[in-house]
Amino acid sequence: MTNSSKYTQQIKSESKRLGFDYVGISKADFLEEEAPRLENWLNNNMHGQMSYMENHFDKRLDPRLLVPGAKSVVSLLLNYFPSEEQTDKSAPKISKYAYGKDYHDVIKEKLNLLLEFIKQNIGEVDGRVFVDSAPVLDKAWAKKSGLGWIGKNTNLINKSSGSFYFIAELIIDLELEYDGAIKDYCGTCTKCIDACPTDAIIAPYVVDGSKCISYFTIELKENIPNEVKGKMDNWSFGCDVCQDVCPWNSFSKPHSEPHFQANTELLGMKKDDWYELTEETFKRVFNGSAVKRTKFSGLTRNLEFIKT
């Protein structure tokens, strides 16, 4: 067994032990296929007011600019599909990924443990961990390493378990064995395109981020535009529509990560509870949750907008 083969097995085995559901590895190289796609997306202002998407264009496409001497990108998936959902079907909805503790904190801790394991068991390895907060095209790397294909809704879809996954990376200067991409299994299905309440999926595999409900409820700091009034499908934070209708998500299984356990108070909130929300209740219910990102003022703005 070569060293790279042995190291690959060690890293994959430790990743699973830390709770990651899937791990794939690809060569740290320039993302040639993604470059024109990203440029076109930005040029057409599909990032809306997410100006940070324009920053570090080169770094987004070349991991060696993020980690000098990088040889491998280790992509990891962590399931967040819940066993329970909000009980009041008429209540404002929040995206399933925000039911439990903020995934950034949970995953970063696991990744740091993985990097520490590599240093202790393999040797002097330089690297960085990434969880959705740096210029890394995580879906592109996950696709490249065979963890799934990019669906028509631009989410990564895993053939065995669907798309309710967080994606994270470890970029390291260690030569490993690389996995290959798999084929696209979307076929002729257009359920995600047909179901999108704001027509944000403007073509197969193209999402106009500035039309997405997640953008309106989380990223947009100004007032939500009036033209989407009545089209928000009762979402107050994020949106799961294009995932909920995806046939591949019929294979989703509940996660086993204790930190993602849904807050029972949140799941039990009735429609009136949402509209009578105080800042004190917001801080208690969403303590440690990704919903903090929109702040109390942002959530109440969203609630006011979708109120019927």
3-state secondary structure of 207: strand
Specify the residue for token string 């929300």: 277
- The answer to whether 132 is a known catalytic residue is yes
Residue 195 per-residue DSSP state: H
Supply 281's token pair. 């209740």
Task: Give the active site residue among 29, 88, 126, 132.
Answer: 132
Specify the residue for token string 């007011």: 49
H helix or E strand, kind and range, residue 20: none
Q: How far apart are CA 127 and CA 221, in angstroms?
A: 34
- Buried b / exposed e over 14-46, threshold 16 CB at 10 Å, is bbeebbbbbbbbbebeebeebeeebeebeeeeb
Residue 162 per-residue DSSP state: B
Asked if 64 and 127 count as a contact pair (C-beta separation under 8 A), the reply is no
Asked if 99 and 285 count as a contact pair (C-beta separation under 8 A), the reply is no
Query: Computed from CA positions of residues 91, 95, 100, 102, in that sequence, does the dihedral angle turn out positive or negative?
Result: negative
CB contact set of 57 (below 8 Å; sequence gap of 6+): 38, 39, 42
Supply 142's token pair. 């996950």
CB contact set of 24 (below 8 Å; sequence gap of 6+): 74, 75, 142, 145, 146, 147, 179
> 10 Å Cβ neighbour count for 287?
12
Q: Which residues belong to the active site?
A: 132
